[in-house]
Structure 1
Amino acid sequence: MTETFPADVTVCPAAPEDRPTVERLWLLFRHDLSESEGTLPGPDGTFRGERVEYALTRPDWAPYLFLKDGRPAGFAFVRGLDGPVRVLNSFFVVRGARRRGVGTRLAQDVLRRHPGAWEIAFQKTNPAAVRFWPHVARSLAGDAWTRELRPVPDRPELPPDVWISLAVTG
């Protein structure tokens, strides 16, 4: 199913043939996060990309590509489709498509595609995420959502992530 928004932004499942586009968007996403995480790319100029591989090949993951006027505008990776809780593993909107409510509509669309319990993690050092994800949670669940800090697995040097939990109906 492809959903079209008034701003000519569509959400569609990413297919294996979309891999080069998703990989390029992944680099932009990781570059954005590097500001708040203080990370640098590897010697070859890329960031770790195993999540792209997982999203495009594992049956319990769902990758989505966002298109604006037919051009790449971002992506989302959902994992945990075979479990009781879905996790929004990665979510990215290119800067040229931000600040017009597009990200909120895209996040709502992706979460509504998989009704049920959800968890969304983000870094408290990322001011845009700190504002954005509670807004999305309220738009979908009113006051029926929670926020908690959790340590980053196998990364004791990093500050804990913020996790939002909510239930989404279709």
Structure 2
Amino acid sequence: MSDLVVRRAGASDRLPLERLWLMFRHDLSEFQGQLPRPDGSYRSEWLESVLTGDPDWAGYLFHTGENPVGFAFVRALTQPVRVLNSFFLVRPVRRHGLGLRAVQEVVGQHPGRWEVAFQENNAAAVRFWRRVATSVSGDAWSEEKRPIPGDPDATPDVWISF
């Protein structure tokens, strides 16, 4: 599984991104407790920001061969600190080093400071994002819990800055 290709996504990638998005939101529902909408979809405003060309957003699609295997969405491109807003790999390619490679390629496209949020109850994400931060910036990274805007009763997200 060493043939990972990371490329900027565009409007022509709508169909694979929409399908991967559903898998991503389904995976997160285990940790966030969100149910699908009556039509089977999940909220998708971040996906729409990427697909409609919002200048503050960028999407990246990951492939191995002809198969789409994941994506990353970056926001705050016009800000001093970029946010890796959404990151997903399909299960068969996880734990092979592709996620770390994908993040390194995406981060390399937008030099500067970065932040990423994840849920503390997602043990795999906790391990992954700490490993990413260390690989990208050595020990020059920090971690903090932040409340979720507009949802004061929700468990705070963990944010890593590097």
TM over 0.5: yes
**After superposition, where does 1:118-129 map in structure 2 within 5 Å?**
118-129=114-125
The answer on whether the counterparts of 1:63 and 1:77 sit within 8 Å (CA) in structure 2 is yes
- Checking the alignment, whether the CA contact within 8 Å between 1:37 and 1:125 is kept in structure 2 is no
Please, which of 56, 63, 76 is the counterpart of residue 60 of structure 1? 56
Instruction: Summarize deviations over 1:96-149 as a string: whole Å, max 9, x none.
Output: 111111111111111111110111111111111111000000001000000000
Aligned AA (1:137): A
Q: Give the TM-score normalised by structure 2.
A: 0.97
The 3-state SS of whatever aligns with 2:115 is: strand
Runs (5+) with no aligned partner, structure 1 = 1-5
User: 1:17 matched to which residue of 2?
Assistant: 12
RMSD across aligned C-alpha pairs, in angstroms?
0.9
1:152 to 140, 144, 148: 148
Identity %: 58
**1:61-104 CA deviation, whole Å, 9 max, x = no partner?**
11000001121100000011111110000000010111111111
Structure 1 position 38 matched with structure 2 position 33: yes
How far the C-alpha of 1:157 sits from its partner, in A, is 2.4
Task: Give the alignment's TM-score, normalised by structure 1.
Answer: 0.92
Amino acid at match of 1:26: W
* 4+ long deviations beyond 2 Å: none
Residue 36 of structure 1 and its aligned partner are, at CA, apart by: 1.1
Counterparts of 1:26-105 in structure 2 under 5 Å? 26-57=21-52, 58-105=54-101
User: Where does structure 2 lack aligned partners over 5 or more consecutive residues?
Assistant: none
How much has 1:158 moved relative to structure 2? 1.2
Q: AA paired with 2:27?
A: D
Does structure 2 retain, via aligned residues, the 8 Å contact 1:61–1:78?
Answer: yes
The equivalent residue for 1:3 is none
